[in-house]
Structure 1
Amino acid sequence: MIDLHSHILPDIDDGARSMDMSLDMARQAVENGITHMVCTPHIHAGYFDNTFKAIEQSYILLKARLDSEQIPLQLSFGAEVRVSEQIPSWILHNEIPFIGKFASRKVLLLEMPHSHVPVGIEMLIKWLLENNIQPLIAHPERNRELLADNGKFEWLRRTNVIFQLTAGALVGRFGAKVNEFALKLIQERKIQVVASDTHNLTKRPNDMAKAYEVVAMLNEDYAKEVFYSRPASIVIRSDNIY
């Protein structure tokens, strides 16, 4: 499997707290059948002010340790970027790493607040698409406004974004309501990618293997699409394209 969303880089956001934890998370990913993981630490102004350079340096260190420990996990890097009016400026100044390409567009992993859909997000999405950037919305199943009003999901979908669902949502890690919504989105085939969004080994572990089983029970061909073929097509064409 290809995992497009992870917080495995050490001591850079609310994910892995140390290099040892990063290595254990990498081993857990391999146990889940993951062959390639994209490191996507938060870029969230005022909370996680990560820069392209800081992310790249952390990635290089982790990659070297995986090689020395002979952990068979390939890495690339990007970022999970919180919706902000600063995003166009960051992009114009080459300050955001993308995770790959989708239909010839660079892919930006875009995070909304968990509480709501930000006012004006459609204008940001329009700007991104006009600038050859494909927004990939992270974990829509956990957004409380989308949970309360599924019609709002359809409105967002019509803006031509694509969606990444979290594996843990499919195995009940975030509660019954999130699980129900996640399964509904899978059954209606409205999700383009499933990823782990792993942060640690226990509370936010890598649930990809169990999540794959859930989706495969419903539709095995679709499971292969959202866990294997589409993520692979995004990341294989990336080589950290910026």
Structure 2
Amino acid sequence: MIDFHTHILPRLDDGAKDSRAALAILQKEKQQGVTCVLCTSHYYGKKYAPEQFLTRRNAAYARIKEEVPEGVSLRLGAEVHFTGVNVAEYDELRRLCIEGTDYILIEFPFMQKWSGELFNRLADFMAETDCVPIIAHVERYREVLKNPAIINELLAMGCLLQVNTSAFLNRREKSLAFALLRRNAVHCIGTDAHDEGTRAPNWTETKAAIEKAGLLKEFENAQQTMSRILANERVEVGLVPPIKKFFGKYR
């Protein structure tokens, strides 16, 4: 399996606090059947320039790379907070794509309204860089929860969607996560692992919940899509049947 979203690199963001914690998280990944982990530490454009971030990221990676559990490979990337990005940095942001690919993990604002300007900026970013955005933990945003029609707006732009494993277990998020998975609109799955405790890898429970829902084939489809992304193959996406909201549940 591939874990597409983690905060494992030590002392780089709010994830692993040190190398010991990072390696403990990776050991849990291995025990649960993961063979490839993407290291997607937070990047905030207003805090560090891409060059500074990459220097810090490479140093964090160097602290653990010799002790990564056998059978587990790491790929470097970033979770790019899009609202903190200046227009002049678009070309530089290409360096924050997932290692060896033209795909970039993008985080949108959680609580703010998503304006037309935000979507215009995303379209400009895509046109100027030829990067393909993957929207991180799409099930968590207030704007998506309020108006699931936004899903098709993102797909129409050519964006891919990533969902956290915890969403399939979370009472508030699971109906939307399963609605997306049922439509094969979950292109990437990640644990968003930050630590060994409350935000640890949880693939075993997640796969059990997905199997209970009869959606293991769709789960495997997402794993295949992630493999294609890491090979830098072009993944074409289309619109999906509209997701409808009934009393806080999504179908």
Normalised-by-shorter TM-score class: 0.7 to 0.9
Q: How does 1:25-64 map onto structure 2 within 5 Å?
A: 25-46=25-46, 51-64=53-66
Residue among 121, 131, 136 paired with 1:138: 136
Deviation at 1:46, TM superposition (A): 4.6
Q: Is the 8 A contact 1:7 1:41 kept in 2?
A: yes
CA change 1:100–1:192 in 2 (3 A) is: farther
- Whether 2:123 is the aligned partner of 1:121: answer no
CA change 1:236–1:209 in 2 (3 A) is: farther
Q: How does 1:100-115 map onto structure 2 within 5 Å?
A: 100=99, 106-115=102-111
| Distance in 1 separating the partners of 2:176 and 2:94 | 34
User: What TM-score results when the alignment is normalised by the length of structure 2?
Assistant: 0.82
- Whether 2:195 is the aligned partner of 1:200: answer yes
CA change 1:95–1:125 in 2 (3 A) is: closer
Deviation at 1:157, TM superposition (A): 2.7
Q: Is the 8 A contact 1:35 1:72 kept in 2?
A: yes
Determine the structure 2 residue equivalent to 1:97: 96
Deviation at 1:51, TM superposition (A): 0.9
Residue type at the aligned position of 1:124 = R
Determine the structure 2 residue equivalent to 1:213: 208
Aligned residues: 228
Give the 3-state SS of the residue equivalent to 1:12 in structure 2: coil
Q: Is the 8 A contact 2:144 2:151 kept in 1?
A: yes
Deviation at 1:45, TM superposition (A): 3.5
Q: 1:134-156: per-residue Cα shift (whole Å, max 9, x none)?
A: 00000110101211221233333
Unaligned runs of 5+ in 2: 234-251
Q: Is the 8 A contact 1:116 1:146 kept in 2?
A: no
Determine the structure 2 residue equivalent to 1:17: 17
Determine the structure 1 residue equivalent to 2:179: 184
Deviation at 1:159, TM superposition (A): 2.1
Give the 3-state SS of the residue equivalent to 2:197 in structure 1: coil
User: What TM-score results when the alignment is normalised by the length of structure 1?
Assistant: 0.85
Q: Is the 8 A contact 1:216 1:222 kept in 2?
A: no
Deviation at 1:128, TM superposition (A): 3.0
CA change 1:94–1:155 in 2 (3 A) is: closer
Give the 3-state SS of the residue equivalent to 1:199 in structure 2: coil
Give the 3-state SS of the residue equivalent to 1:5 in structure 2: coil
CA change 1:44–1:71 in 2 (3 A) is: same
Give the 3-state SS of the residue equivalent to 2:173 in structure 1: helix
| Distance in 1 separating the partners of 2:215 and 2:41 | 31
Give the 3-state SS of the residue equivalent to 2:7 in structure 1: coil
Identity %: 21
CA change 1:164–1:10 in 2 (3 A) is: same
| Distance in 2 separating the partners of 1:155 and 1:35 | 33
Unaligned runs of 5+ in 1: none
**RMSD of the alignment, in Å?**
2.3
Q: 1:142-196: per-residue Cα shift (whole Å, max 9, x none)?
A: 1012112212333333222110000011112xxx221221111112222211111
| Distance in 2 separating the partners of 1:209 and 1:230 | 20
Deviating more after overlay: 130-139 vs 82-91: 82-91
Deviating more after overlay: 142-151 vs 35-44: 142-151
